[in-house]
Structure 1
Amino acid sequence: MEPIMRKSFTTTRRKEQTRTQFRRRRRTVDVAYIPRVCPAYNLAKAYKTVIRNFEEEFRPIGVSPTQFGILVHVAISEPVTAALLAEQLGSDPSTVSRNMESVITRGFVNSRTGKDRRERVYSLTEDGRTVLESAVPAWKSASRRALGGMRKSAWDVVLRDLRTLSN
């Protein structure tokens, strides 16, 4: 019969000391400041608050903030290619293609093949123009609510800085 192998007391104690040291180190790491300064956290938190306002305002019209943004950019640049639309929206072409499905299905946007068979070109339909026009007052209201009591000069600075971040 082979003897039973036991871990030595010192090995077990060393592991326990290492765990304790790790716990102590972990407790001393100051992370409380991170939510106050983290760009990702603060931008995401602001985005969620703002988007909620826009969703509430657009709900009676039956469009989402994403669909409204698409309609605006198609109206500005029509006829517009998927590649240019993706650039304007800050998205990749596959995301734009996926998001376009809902506005095309609802009859707000026409889609056709461009010069190259792989290229898609979009333009607004009459229904799309009507929905866009009816959504502008909701957009104005949501914008006012989202900015709350922020002064215009303060918003101008924030907007300039956001554009710097996104370029």
Structure 2
Amino acid sequence: MDSPVGWTIVRLAHVLSRRFETAMRPHGLTPAQFGVLATIAAEPGIGSGQLARRVLVTAQSVGELVATLETAGLVARDRSGGPGRRAGIRLTPQGRTVLDGASRAAATLDDPAVFGLSPAEATTLNSLLHRALRAQHESPPT
């Protein structure tokens, strides 16, 4: 019997989340922290509000994530804009090093064989998942 698509995605997400947590642990990161570092690397100077939207967490959660990463010396906030101005966030050299190692670990989980798929099937699945994700952002929950 086939299960509903949403439930299948939830089940797969749980399995992959546990594997991702295990892969990030040696780098001292959580999956959310990895997502924050990767997003900052892709968009240096990003503000916290935009960062929260990109990594799908609340503004409060991203504030806590960034504060933890800042304390660890992995990111720095540019506060040169003065009071009330957006403080852009950037990776520190140490943050870049940690992200590079964590990215290599994450890449091992991205091999199509991990999913039991051919490269072409993995490309198709990724495209479909991105379309489903966009649809969820465009339509409010009911």
Q: TM-score range by the shorter chain?
A: 0.7 to 0.9
TM-score, normalised by the number of residues in structure 1: 0.69
**Is residue 2:3 matched to residue 1:36?**
yes
Q: In the TM superposition, what is the alpha-carbon distance from 1:147 to its structure 2 partner?
A: 3.2
Q: Is the 8 A contact 2:112 2:119 kept in 1?
A: no
Matched with 1:46 is: 12
TM-score, normalised by the number of residues in structure 2: 0.80
**Is residue 2:97 matched to residue 1:155?**
no
Share of identical aligned residues, percent?
24
Q: In the TM superposition, what is the alpha-carbon distance from 1:146 to its structure 2 partner?
A: 8.0
List structure 1 segments (4+ residues) > 4 angstroms apart after TM superposition: none
Q: In the TM superposition, what is the alpha-carbon distance from 1:81 to its structure 2 partner?
A: 0.8
**Is residue 2:45 matched to residue 1:70?**
no
Q: Out of 86, 89, 93, which is 1:122 matched to? A: 89
Q: Is the 8 A contact 2:23 2:105 kept in 1?
A: yes
**Is residue 2:72 matched to residue 1:106?**
yes
**Is residue 2:25 matched to residue 1:59?**
yes
2:120 alignment partner, SS class: helix
Task: State the number of aligned residues.
Answer: 133
Aligned-residue CA RMSD (Å): 2.3
Structure 1: runs of 5 or more not aligned: 1-32
Q: In the TM superposition, what is the alpha-carbon distance from 1:129 to its structure 2 partner?
A: 0.8
> CA separation in 1, counterparts of 2:83 and 2:128?
37
